[in-house]
């Protein structure tokens, strides 16, 4: 689940005016590098920014930076409520942005 969350949320892109702009850029670049379309990547950025609190968003950015072991550790250390919130947000991002097929192959 942690890997799916990291992959799903790492596929985000650019959106206008946000405190998370630098993080969204990192996520978008990783998303595009993994072969997803710019449109999907931009959707992921926008929806991730909307759905995730700062703590969860920062974990996703760390994962997009390639810090897999640290990301997994941080996800495992989350309180059960935060883990649940992350799981729900991941499903919402995937469904909203239409990336079910891409993730199935990833």
> Per residue in 29-54, pLDDT tens?
888 898 889 999 888 888 888 889 99
> Per residue in 53-90, pLDDT tens?
999 999 988 888 888 899 999 999 999 999 999 989 88
Alpha carbons 17 and 11: distance in angstroms, whole number: 19
pLDDT confidence of residue 14 = 34
Half-sphere exposure of 101 (CA within 13 A, CB side): 5
Q: Model-level pTM?
A: 0.72
């Amino acid at each position: 689940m942690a890997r799916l969350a990291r992959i799903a949320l790492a596929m985000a892109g650019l959106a206008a005016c946000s405190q998370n702009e630098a993080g969204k850029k990192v996520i978008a670049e990783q998303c595009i590098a993994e072969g997803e379309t710019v449109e999907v990547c931009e959707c992921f950025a926008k929806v991730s920014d909307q759905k995730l609190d700062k703590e969860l968003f920062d974990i996703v950015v760390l994962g997009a930076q390639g810090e897999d072991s640290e990301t997994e550790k941080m996800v495992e250390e989350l309180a059960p409520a935060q883990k649940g919130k992350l799981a729900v947000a991941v499903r919402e991002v995937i469904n909203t942005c239409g990336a079910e097929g891409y993730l199935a192959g990833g």
